[in-house]
A and B are shown apart, each in its own frame.
Chain A
Amino acid sequence: MFDDFFIRALVAGIGVAFVTGPLGCFVIWRRLSYFGDTLAHSALLGVTLAFTMEFNIALSVFIISSLIALILIQLQKKTNLPGDALLGLLAHSSLAVGLVVIGFLTFIRFDIMGLLFGDILAVSVDDLLIIWIGGALILLVLKLIWKPLFASTVNYELAEAEGLNPDRAKAIFTILMAAIIAISIKMVGLLLITGMLIIPAAMARNLSSSPQSMVIYSIIGGLLSVIIGLLTSLEFNTSSGPSIITAALLLFILSLFKIKQSIKLKN
């Protein structure tokens, strides 16, 4: 069944969408879109490392992204630079270093476009296992830290005062972010991963009145984007990442009509 590359891509994309749905909601709620971008950019370094050391790509990306997150936390503590400047610094320098390293690796044929924008032809059965097992783990951990994470997203002091340990939840969430980037990089490509996190969740925000419904709509939006995107990609031979994100954008635009109505009702 998984012999067909398209089926593999579809199964992989569906697995990714189940995880990016809930995580994306937190990215929006906690204003972490640029943080996600920074981790994704640093993933290129992880990929090149995987190629040089003949190491598993997902694992290598996961390690590098986590490392970048750690460096960011340290820089935030030790410098007076604003958070967005530090994010930009890390995002672009890790992307640049990754590209320079690729330049040196002349003995390996690199599909840079595939890395940046995703390549459905590249999804192997091993990747499917990584996506589904890794994705299930991410969702399980997210479920475990949901209460402290969500409570501290609403109000940090309330969560802290009532004994929920929000700092630990935040640290674990950072690791989950690195993990989702690691497992979805082949599918969506590193330049567009944050889009996969944000756009379905943004669409869901327009349709939902409770956090739970936003998560569910976000998953549905992600699934639809993947299916529509991949079908388009197959039909018109476009890169998988941009096709999925474009589909997500269309869904977001459709959701705007809904929000227009509810705002009208309010006034």
Chain B
Amino acid sequence: MSTDQNILVKLNDAGLQLNNRWLVKGVSLQVEKGKIVTLIGPNGSGKSTTAKIALGIYKKIDGSVEKYTHKVGYVPQKISIDWTLPLRVNDFMVLTESLNKETIDEALSLTGVIHLKNKNLGDLSGGEFQRVLLARAISKKPELLVLDEPVQGVDFTGEIALYELIKKISDELSCGILLISHDLHTVMTATDHVVCLNGHVCCSGSPMDVAKNNEYKALFGEQASQILSRYEHKHDHIHTDEGEIKKN
């Protein structure tokens, strides 16, 4: 049901040129309600740039972006918090939108960091901070979530649980998700549409289609395409944040 009303953001032949160098060129994609679109590609292939174009952070772009929602949650790939700012997790949660206590607590519980609520942001570990970033992005119940490497630095069991959470959020809020990930293993099961970037769109389609694509194989190697096919199966259990397994 891909009627126009379901489209949240649409890139038409979008690209960005900086100092006479194309960071990314000719990207067309769209994110719809309740769908997860994953961008994959090697380092420097323009994944983050594409996400920022979709978010409207870059103004002077080639092509065009059509954005149909203002309720956006963003987890950037890199974020450095300045020490000159006294900022607790709780303050960070209400950075772009005022939320009540229950909403904040619920989001922090979902990503398993409720116990850090009153800690200084600078005192968190990389993985903890990543969970806080994700909690902040989902707490405002966005229509569009842009997640740039959302689980970097998170331990392995946590990683799986967070991906399950992302999938669940996409279903429950029926929000569209633009996901960037290096991790071909875990991502693919939940993804509806994969866009493989390498400075341009090298191939796109369902995870299966992309896995069979020759350009994809050339970029990631034969093994990667096997990973994709191997993970095409149904999950019968979920992993909680404590690392326990719960049957569905």
Residue numbers of A with Cβ under 8 A of B are 28-29, 31, 147, 150-151, 153-155, 157-164, 205, 208-214
> What is the CA–CA distance of A161 and B58 in the complex, to the nearest angstrom?
10
In the complex, the answer to whether A210 meets B87 with C-beta atoms within 8 Å is: yes
Closest-CB distance, A207 to chain B (whole angstroms): 9
Of the listed residues A31, A154, A162, A211, the one surrounded by the most CB atoms of chain B closer than 10 A to its CB is: A162
CA A161 to CA B144, docked complex, whole Å: 11
The answer to whether A163 and B88 have CB atoms under 8 Å apart is no
Among A155, A205, A209, which residue has the most Cβ atoms of chain B within 10 A?
A155
Q: How far is the CB of A127 from chain B (nearest CB, A)?
A: 33
- B95 in contact with A161 (CB, 8 Å): no
Beta-carbon contacts under 8 Å, B119-146 to A: 120, 140, 146
What is the interface of chain B, defined by CB distance below 8 A to chain A? 52, 55-57, 70, 72-74, 76, 79, 81-82, 84-88, 90-92, 95-98, 120, 140, 146
Cα separation A155 to B92 with both chains bound (whole Å): 11
Q: Roughly how many angstroms separate A150 CA and B120 CA in the complex, as a whole number?
A: 17
A162-B72 contact given A155-B79, A157-B57, CB 8 Å threshold: yes
Taken together as a complex, chains A and B put the C-alpha atoms of A205 and B85 apart, in Å, by: 8
Chain B residue nearest in CB terms to A153: B85
Q: A-B pairs with CB below 8 Å: how many? A: 71
The answer to whether A209 and B76 have CB atoms under 8 Å apart is no
Contacts known (A155-B79, A209-B120, A210-B91); A161 close to B57, Cβ less than 8 A: yes
Let me know if B86 and A158 touch, CB within 8 A. Answer: no
Q: How far is the CA of A236 from the CA of B86 in the complex (A)?
A: 38
Minimum CB distance partner of A163 in chain B: B70
- Considering the chains assembled together, what is the distance between the CA atoms of A160 and B72 in angstroms? 10
Q: How far is the CA of A31 from the CA of B82 in the complex (A)?
A: 10
Complex Cα–Cα for A155 and B74 (A) = 11
Which residues of the other chain, B, contact A208 by a CB distance below 8 angstroms? 86
A161 near B87 with CB under 8 A, answer: no
A213 near B86 with CB under 8 A, answer yes
Q: Once the chains bind, are B86 and A211 in contact (CB under 8 Å)?
A: yes
Which one of B82, B86, B87 has the greatest number of beta carbons of chain A within 10 Å?
A: B86
Asked if B96 contacts A158 (CB within 8 A), the reply is: yes
The answer to whether A163 and B72 have CB atoms under 8 Å apart is yes
Contacts of B98 in A (CB 8 A): 147
Residue of A with least CB distance to B121: A154
Interchain nearest-CB distance for B209 vs A (Å):
30
A210 is contacted by which of B82, B88, B95 (Cβ under 8 Å)? B88
A158 to B55, CA, bound (A): 10
Q: Give 21 pairs: A residue, B residue, CB < 8 Å, sorted on A.
A: A29-B82, A151-B96, A154-B87, A155-B76, A155-B81, A155-B95, A157-B52, A157-B55, A158-B74, A158-B96, A159-B95, A160-B56, A161-B56, A161-B72, A161-B74, A162-B73, A162-B97, A162-B140, A205-B84, A209-B86, A211-B86
Instruction: Give the residue name and chain of the B residue nearest to A159 (CB).
Output: B96
Q: Chain A residue with minimal CB distance to B118?
A: A209
Most A CB contacts (10 A, CB to CB) among B76, B87, B91, B96 go to B96
Q: Tell whether, in the assembled complex, residue A161 and residue B88 are in contact, meaning their CB atoms are under 8 Å apart.
A: no
Q: Given contacts A29-B82, A155-B95, A159-B95, could you give 16 more A-B pairs where the C-beta distance is less than 8 Å?
A: A151-B96, A154-B92, A154-B95, A155-B76, A155-B81, A157-B52, A157-B74, A158-B79, A160-B57, A161-B74, A162-B73, A162-B97, A162-B140, A210-B91, A211-B85, A214-B86
Chain A residues whose CB sits within 8 angstroms of the CB of B57 once the complex forms? 157, 160-161
B50 CB to closest chain A CB (Å) equals 13
Q: How far is the CA of A158 from the CA of B80 in the complex (A)?
A: 12
Report the 3 A-B pairs with minimum CB-CB distance, sorted nearest first. A161-B55, A161-B74, A162-B96
